[in-house]
Amino acid sequence: MPAQTHAAMAPVPVPVLVHGDDSPTPLPLHPHLHTPSSGSGSGSPGHAPHSIKHLTGEVLATAHLLQQQIRTLECLAHATEEREATLVQQRAKLQELLHLVTQMETAEARATASLRDTLARVRAGRDRGAAAFAA
């Protein structure tokens, strides 16, 4: 078999021994995974299983890394959900506080107006009393 070039992207069958079968079963292997010895056609019996073992190890290591990344993403998602719930609670508390402050400001404005009205009546009564006393 001629050596594959980078331009050829079709999978190339590679003989692999399958458990329970004496004949090699071709499995597709992407051209960029071929080493010169596995793509050259020499196919020594000891070399193909070694490269498959190596590839299997790499696949398992990649799977392990992907599992770790999935766990990390799940943890981050859970933490984000917890933060979101906390922020929703804090927002509700802040809205309640804002409502209370608004009520306090309204009550203060009413009390101030009432005090000014009372002060004006007291001054008016005092002025009338002083005028009546003087007359």
91-108 pLDDT per residue, tens: 999 999 999 999 999 999
Sign of the dihedral defined by the CA atoms of residues 29, 32, 37, 41, in that order: positive
| CA atoms of 26 and 10, how far apart (whole Å) | 14
> What total number of domains does the chain contain?
1
| CA atoms of 18 and 108, how far apart (whole Å) | 86
pLDDT per residue as tens digits for the range 31-48: 555 554 444 444 444 455
CA 97 to chain centre: 30
Does residue 26 belong to any structural domain of this protein?
yes
Does residue 3 belong to any structural domain of this protein?
yes
Does residue 9 belong to any structural domain of this protein?
yes
- The full length of the chain comes to 135
Is the pTM above the cut of 0.75? no
